[in-house]
Amino acid sequence: MNVFRFLTSGESHGKCLTAIIEGVPAGFRIRSSVINEDLARRQVGYGRGGRMKIEKDTVEIKSGVRFGKSTGAPICLEIKNRDYENWQDVMDTERQDYPAQETLRKIEEKSFTTVRPGHADYAGAIKYNFSDLRNVLERSSARKTAIEVAVGSVAKQILKEFGIMGFSHVIQIGDVKLDFYPKTYTLIKEKAENSDVRCADDLTSDRMRNAIDAAAEAGDTLGGKFEVIFGNLPIGLGSYVHWDKTLDGRLAQAVMSIPAVKAVEVGAGVEVANLKGSETHDEVFVKNKNVYRNTNNAGGLEGGMTNGEALVIKGTMKAIPTMRKALATVDIKDLTPASAHFERSDTCAVPACAVVAEARVAIILVDAFLEKFGGDNFDEVKAHFESRN
Ligand code: EPS
């Protein structure tokens, strides 16, 4: 069982998004202002749609924290959906006995039966026996990633106490790739944070923006690739003894399950297929009793455990399936051919997806960290950490 675990609830246009986190030891400083900074990072990005102009995601810590410190009790987080104001009738949790005509009209207007290819619509409707695809859209929407970023921010605040920090950046949007990497991780992070496509090179950022503009013009959408990097990790998080304890396996699941992610790579990733053994593995050297490597093709993981090098995870996101240029589909009402439903959407959400992946990686890392060094309170965890090999 996971040490750090959480559940979320909430619909895209419902009242709010909620998370309950379990497993945070007492005595950790948890700041809502830091969570809000991460929420803002998820909201920006060239190519985002109209919804982000309505929302200004901020978290309320509802329980489990007292005077800025965790108490060891479950932590409840909440983000209100500002857009709910416009959706109250449609997303009502109560059934009204005699709804007004106007209410019925709004519900009718927002219900839909034309499946959007690439979304959860078709399988979701069959699985849960829905005639209105609104029921599928509302929870399958990537809107819920906002609360996951809040949970990830709590994880990052815990990891930071032990000097573990990470960042994310975009390495491809459509067919525009980042070929020139700044020399250090610090530089990549700084440049990416200042780019509205989260890309560490100015010229490539321009080309990415142009590609997004062209896609938007054509009523189309774009996917891409991002990278999450965490440094200063203690050696031996995760394990090789069972398949479900391997850290690469856990990280892959966490990143793969972000909506629209279709592939996850560790270190050199799929490139290793082209390399010989002698080119793949990172040779080990020693200087003044310090072990070091000159390469990091393993992406910081060997045998499903952290090996002391930087953790490098890549994710690939498909282009968003909700688009103006409607795809051919069927109407589930009568199984007749139709055009896919279109609702306000983003042209490209790869920069936001990178921030979500950073949160998911932090969640897995804090879980593995507390598994190894855990305790009931900050001092215990710190003592365990300091007594490591
Ligand atoms: C999102 C909120 C959603 C979408 C997007 C992500 O808001 P709305 O549906 O009101 O426009 O902008 O979600 C999707 C496109 C999707 O397919 O899930 C958010 O908060 O990130």
Q: What is the pLDDT of residues 176-186, one digit of tens each?
A: 999 999 999 99
Instruction: Output the CA 358–ligand 1 centroid distance in Å.
Output: 19
Instruction: Output the CA 344–ligand 1 centroid distance in Å.
Output: 8
The pLDDT, as a whole number, for residue 341 is 86
Mean pLDDT of 118-144: 97
Q: 17, 39, 41, 141: which to mutate for ligand 1, most atoms within 8 A of CB?
A: 141
Residue type, position 210, single letter: N
Contact of 167 with 229, CB cutoff 8 Å: yes
pLDDT at 65 over 90: yes
Residue 260 DSSP SS3: coil
pLDDT tens digits for 334-363?
Answer: 999 999 988 888 999 999 999 999 999 999
Mean pLDDT of 264-290: 98
DSSP state of 340: P
The pLDDT, as a whole number, for residue 69 is 98
The pLDDT, as a whole number, for residue 93 is 96
**H or E stretch at 305:** strand 305-306
Site of tokens 């710190």 = 382
> How many residues in total does the chain contain?
389
Measured distance between the N- and C-terminal CA atoms of the chain, rounded to whole angstroms: 25
Torsion sign over Cα 216, 221, 224, 226: positive
Largest CA distance in the chain: 80
DSSP annotation string for 61-84: EEESEETTEE-SSPEEEEEE-GGG
Model pTM?
A: 0.97
Higher local confidence (pLDDT), 265 or 51: 265
Residue 116 DSSP SS3: coil
The pLDDT, as a whole number, for residue 134 is 98
pLDDT at 323 over 90: no
The pLDDT, as a whole number, for residue 114 is 96
The pLDDT, as a whole number, for residue 8 is 98
Torsion sign over Cα 234, 266, 155, 58: positive
Residues with Cβ within 8 Å of residue 244, at least 6 apart in sequence: 250
Which range (41-55, 232-246, 305-319) has the least confidence?
41-55
The Cβ of residue 360 has, within 10 Å, a number of other Cβ atoms equal to: 26
pLDDT at 1 over 80: no
| Whole-number Å distance between alpha carbons of 353 and 217 | 22
Ligand 1 atom with the smallest distance to the CA of 13 is: 10
Contact of 356 with 42, CB cutoff 8 Å: yes
pLDDT band at 203, cuts 50/70/90? very high
Instruction: Output the CA 219–ligand 1 centroid distance in Å.
Output: 16
The pLDDT, as a whole number, for residue 18 is 98
Instruction: Output the CA 343–ligand 1 centroid distance in Å.
Output: 9
pLDDT at 56 over 90: yes
Mean pLDDT of 233-248: 98
**H or E stretch at 252:** helix 247-256
DSSP annotation string for 156-188: HHHHHTTT-EEEEEEEEETTEE-----SSHHHH
Q: Whose CA is nearest to atom 19 of ligand 1?
A: 143
The pLDDT, as a whole number, for residue 261 is 98
**H or E stretch at 169:** strand 165-173
pLDDT band at 252, cuts 50/70/90? very high
pLDDT band at 369, cuts 50/70/90? very high
Percent of the chain with pLDDT over 90: 95
Residue 137 DSSP SS3: helix
DSSP state of 297: T
Burial class (CB in 10 A: 0-12, 13-18, 19+), 326: middle
pLDDT at 275 over 80: yes
Mean pLDDT of 209-238: 97
The pLDDT, as a whole number, for residue 326 is 86
The Cβ of residue 63 has, within 10 Å, a number of other Cβ atoms equal to: 13
Planar angle of CA 115, 118, 123, nearest 5 degrees: 60
Instruction: Output the CA 134–ligand 1 centroid distance in Å.
Output: 13
Instruction: Output the CA 176–ligand 1 centroid distance in Å.
Output: 24
DSSP state of 39: H
Give me the number of domains the chain comprises: 1
Domain extent, residue 42, equals 5-97+105-387
pLDDT at 300 over 90: yes
Q: What is the CATH number of the domain that holds 368?
A: 3.60.150.10
Give the closest residue to 247 by CA, choosing from 301, 197, 194: 301
Contact of 224 with 173, CB cutoff 8 Å: yes
Ligand 1 atom with the smallest distance to the CA of 344 is: 11
pLDDT tens digits for 132-163?
Answer: 999 999 999 999 999 999 999 999 999 999 99
DSSP state of 347: S
The pLDDT, as a whole number, for residue 342 is 86
* Mean pLDDT over each residue of the chain, to the nearest integer: 97
Planar angle of CA 305, 308, 314, nearest 5 degrees: 70
CB-based pocket (< 6 A), ligand 1: 12, 49, 51, 83, 141-143, 145-146, 259, 320, 322, 343-346, 352
The pLDDT, as a whole number, for residue 287 is 97
